[in-house]
Structure 1
Amino acid sequence: MTTVRELYEESIRTEQRALAHYILHLLQEGQVSLDDDADTLDFTQANHEKVAQMIVQNQLGFSDIKVFSLKYDDKLFAFVFAASQEEAIEFFQKTFKRNPYNCHEYPLDFPMSRGQEFLTFRDMRKEHSHFPALAGFYERR
């Protein structure tokens, strides 16, 4: 049995904005408690307009920063943390004085190796305080 608390914490950890805000709303309205079974959550009871407003206001403080892979040449890719694809491309152009061949968003939970350690882009993002920022490079063999 998964509790509401466990689901809520997981939704925050994985930055599932809608789910986290819906659970928060149902908790605030007293319709569920943290110790309830998560299967008892009934999102039809929520005030959807209120939850939409909570998401827009970002009441839980989720980061808007994503990670993008920008192709530097045939075998080299730069990973950039940015709020949008446009911002990532602009950062790449200013940093490397060239246009990338392409730009694709990657999932923040994508695992990468760095030396002897494995970590996700979500973990790496925590190491930066200003964005956009260079996350690193990948060379395809």
Structure 2
Amino acid sequence: MNTLKEGDKVPNFESINEQGETIKLSNYKGKKLVVFFYPKANTPGCTLEACNLRDNYEVLKEKGYELLGVSADSAKRQSNFKKKYSFPFPLLADEDKTVINAFGVWGPKKFMGREFDGIHRKTFIIDENGIVERVIDKVKTKNHAAQILE
């Protein structure tokens, strides 16, 4: 797993959001961007994380951040997740793992004693020029916005 690190330039990615609209990194040029990767929509940890970001969305916006959630779920699943919890930010349906691989968050994981490949829960804070400012490896799902703002 070759994960982007602080100081790396983010490759210009393109994917679709929960509505089937194309989203590109270049859409965020000149803005600070938080890209958070989560394993699966509508699962307990992912719901806690995304709801915490939703509940602190205005504070994050005031600090100049745009948010973008990414998982390998289908657009329909992402759309259901977004509607169910009223998320104000787009969710990428990265089924072909283009964005996931660009950031290097796909790799071996362990869960309940078994090993498998999957998405690692990580968050990338990207500056106005598309450079990784910070990587949050140990995401606290219940308090993620505070981690971003620290």
Per the TM superposition, whether the score is higher than 0.5 is no
Higher helix share: 1
Q: Which protein has greater RCO, CA pairs closer than 8 Å, 6+ apart?
A: 2
Q: Which has the higher strand share?
A: 2
TM-score between both structures, scaled by the size of structure 2: 0.24
Of structures 1 and 2, the larger Rg is shown by: 1
TM-score under structure 1 length normalisation:
0.25
